[in-house]
Amino acid sequence: MRNSVIIVAGGSGSRMGSALPKQFIEINGKAIIIHTLEKFLAFEATIEIVIVINESYHSFWEKARTTAGFDYPVTLTPGGETRFHSVKNGLKFIKGSNLIGVHDAVRPLVSVDCLRRVYEAAKSSGSAIPCIPLKESIREINEKSSRPLDRSRIQIVQTPQVFTAEILNTAYLTDFSELFTDDASVAEKVGYPITIIAGDEYNLKITTPEDLEIAKILLIHQKHLLQ
């Protein structure tokens, strides 16, 4: 059985200030989502890919795929009202997988090494999520005051978040909660422990125009490292 990944690609370009959904913005002649998919294929050449995408974005996908000459077979499924519902839709199309990752389409900078480590960790423990430590001081703010927090106790969560098929499918049988911010929070809700591994400092989620400019530079850097 091969491994799988659900690519969540239903976001809009609202914070990017773009009429084009951010996952279809081009960097170096390829849509962001294509860069992301190529990382997973570099990790595992036969990985099963399910893309959760707004039905109105299919023309954007076809253009991105054609422009890049991307012909690897993928399954497209409509997104849901929330990320929870989108992932749940994607799970319906995965059969017999060992491990299932869930990854943001707008994280094209994830390294192949990070993918290898997170899938291997999930294979051993049932679940794994990549995280990186905070570098800046942080404060909790309310209407009247603020207080410092111990940053050593807080980490930034990334994707892909990877689980055995049994754990992820069981977790997504639970009812939706607004407290679900990612797949790990869904799995924890039904009692599964989460293994944290070292994430990837480059694994930026492209959300703003500033993120896009940084990603352009880093993708060129990564390409040179692989040559």
pLDDT digits (tens, 9 = 90+) for 108-149: 999 999 999 999 999 999 999 999 999 999 999 998 899 999
At the fourth CATH level, the homologous superfamily of domain 4-226 is Spore Coat Polysaccharide Biosynthesis Protein SpsA; Chain A (3.90.550.10)
- pLDDT at position 132 is 97
Sequence length of the chain is 227
pTM over 0.85: yes
pLDDT over 70 percentage in the chain: 95
- pLDDT at position 57 is 94
CA distance to 63, 79, 160, per residue, from 87 (Å): 24, 8, 13
- pLDDT at position 12 is 64
pLDDT above 70: residue 86: yes
The residue extents of the domains of the chain are 4-226
Sequence-separated contacts (24+) of 19-24 with Cβ below 8 Å: 20/60, 21/54, 21/57, 21/60, 22/106, 22/206, 22/207, 22/212, 23/105, 23/106, 24/57, 24/60, 24/61, 24/63, 24/64
- Alpha-carbon distance 31 to 42, whole Å? 17
The H-or-E segment that residue 76 falls in is: strand 75-78
What token pair was written down for 202?
Answer: 């480059």
For residues 95 and 180, is the Cβ–Cβ distance under 8 A? no
pLDDT above 70: residue 14: no
- pLDDT at position 2 is 83
Residue among 136, 130, 79 nearest 109 (CA): 130
- pLDDT at position 68 is 97
- pLDDT at position 13 is 61
State pLDDT tens for residues 33-78: 999 999 999 999 999 999 999 999 999 999 999 999 999 999 999 9
Other residues' Cβ atoms within 10 Å of the Cβ of residue 92? 12
What token pair was written down for 98?
Answer: 């060992």
pLDDT above 60: residue 225: no
Compare 77 and 79 and report the one with higher pLDDT. 77
Indicate the average pLDDT of the chain. Answer: 93
- Alpha-carbon distance 212 to 182, whole Å? 23
